[in-house]
Amino acid sequence: MELNVFTMFLEAGLTIKGVILLLLVMSLYSWFIVFQKEVLYRKVRQASEEFKEQFWKSKNLAEAHKIAKQAELAPEAMVFRSAYQELQKLNKAQGGELRLENRLAGMEPLKRAASKSLAGEISRLGRSLPFLASTGSASPFIGLFGTVWGIMTSFHEIGVRGSASLAVVAPGVSEALVVTAAGLAVAIPAVVFYNYYTNKLVEIEGDSQAFATDFINLIERDFLTRPRTAETQE
């Protein structure tokens, strides 16, 4: 007999149909996440490269801030905007006349703002990836549940008919095994792409962290080498 999965699905019981439909929904949503992340990460990578190139060419922080407002997808731009806002608050609060120890203490809120912004951006970019991990781990067990249920149904049919011939057992067993195959077919791509995009996210985080470190060092050097008017007056 020719193996027809669609016909087997139509002839299956409600439990098997429910399991297959659940796997189908998980598979469709997993592939949606895959294509969404592919498009998003490409745009993020491009936006990050453009922002960093323009940032290091900017003449001052005010000009860089205008550039950052236009780079909505670049994590580095979000980190810069958060740190820049904190720097503006610090300058307004202190009036530019600080002792050295006060300047050092003033860098801590700026560093925390940059770290918090970076964490938020990475969390945003990593959204939906846990679903791929859950699909990869749960789908084989869901398929296995369908297989066990199908085999139980086959043995029940044997008991009802009082016959253990291959013609009685084979359809139910093959139907049950198809569910396991479906579970694996859903799980394998989900695991592969989860690992792939997790690595991509780690790369994005590393590049953003490197930019944040360079930017903080730049601000720190400028901030600490300003004329210390308060100390001079004393």
pLDDT, tens only, 117-153: 899 999 999 999 999 999 999 999 998 888 888 787 7
Q: What is the rounded average pLDDT of the residues 156-169?
A: 62
In this prediction, residue 164 has a pLDDT band, given cuts at 50, 70 and 90, of: low
> Comparing C-alpha atoms, which of 100, 119, 80 is closest to residue 216?
80
> Comparing C-alpha atoms, which of 88, 50, 85 is closest to residue 70?
50
**Domain ranges, ordered by start, for the chain:** 5-233
Round to whole Å and give the CA distance between 200 and 226.
Answer: 40
Phi, psi at residue 48, to the nearest 5°?
-65, -45
Round to whole Å and give the CA distance between 89 and 107.
Answer: 12
Angle between helices 166-224 and 129-161 in degrees, nearest 10 = 170
Round to whole Å and give the CA distance between 88 and 224.
Answer: 15
pLDDT, tens only, 29-46: 999 999 999 999 999 999
In this prediction, residue 7 has a pLDDT band, given cuts at 50, 70 and 90, of: low
Round to whole Å and give the CA distance between 188 and 105.
Answer: 50
Burial class (CB in 10 A: 0-12, 13-18, 19+), 158: middle
Burial class (CB in 10 A: 0-12, 13-18, 19+), 208: buried
| DSSP category for residue 99 | -
Flag whether pLDDT at 101 surpasses 70: no
Helix (H) or strand (E) holding 124: helix 100-125
pLDDT, tens only, 10-21: 566 677 788 888
Q: How far apart are the first and last CA of the chain?
A: 98
pLDDT, tens only, 188-232: 999 999 999 999 999 999 999 999 888 888 877 766 555 544 333
Q: Which residue bears the tokens 């085999």?
A: 151
